[in-house]
Structure 1
Amino acid sequence: MAAGTIRYWAAAKAAAGVAEEPYVADTLADALAGARAKHPGELERVLARCSFLVDGLAVGTRGHETVRLAEGGTVEVLPPFAGG
């Protein structure tokens, strides 16, 4: 299992109630499941609309269960932003 940090931005930060928190997980799917368990309710709805960066690289359409997390890594949770 890898340990790292999840950083929440904008609506995800508001829904989680924290700007960041640690994770211990092998995959992005596992880390997000842990976040959902810690913050049930609004965060679950927000995560469904988010995009994710893992160590600075966009996850895109890859299955979250296929995205491996590195020791000391960072997951950025990016909700859709308004504006143009």
Structure 2
Amino acid sequence: MSHGTIRYWAAAKAAAGRAEEAFAAGTLEDLLGQVRRRYEGNATFLKVLDRSSLLVNSTAVGRRPHDQVVLEPGWTVEVLPPFAGG
């Protein structure tokens, strides 16, 4: 288990009420489980989280299984909600 930071952007930041927070986790699945438990009473945030793209240390997670995405010490996870524009 390693320590790192999860950062929330746009609608995720608004729903969480903060830009970032620290966690200790070994995999992305573990981290997201902790985040969901912390915000279990915040349906708006959980909906945004489920629709967001994720970056781990600036690399898109894409469709990789979250239990296979290992978080190395000092990791940063970015939560990027869908956006529109052009």
User: What is the count of residue pairs matched by the alignment?
Assistant: 84
The equivalent residue for 1:54 is 56
Write the distance in 1 (CA, Å) between the matches of 2:60 and 2:3.
19
Write the distance in 2 (CA, Å) between the matches of 1:8 and 1:32.
13
Write the distance in 2 (CA, Å) between the matches of 1:80 and 1:35.
19
The equivalent residue for 1:77 is 79
After superposition, give the CA deviation of every residue in 1:25-55 in whole Å (9 maximum; x if it has no partner).
1111111111111112222111111100000
The equivalent residue for 2:46 is 44
Alpha-carbon offset, residue 23 of structure 1: 1.2
Alpha-carbon offset, residue 71 of structure 1: 0.7
Q: Which runs of 5+ in 1 are unaligned?
A: none
Write the distance in 2 (CA, Å) between the matches of 1:74 and 1:38.
18
Alpha-carbon offset, residue 77 of structure 1: 0.3
The equivalent residue for 1:6 is 6
Write the distance in 2 (CA, Å) between the matches of 1:33 and 1:18.
18
Q: Which runs of 5+ in 2 are unaligned?
A: none
4+ long deviations beyond 6 Å: none
Write the distance in 2 (CA, Å) between the matches of 1:10 and 1:35.
17
Q: TM-score scaled to structure 2, two decimals?
A: 0.92
The equivalent residue for 2:20 is 20
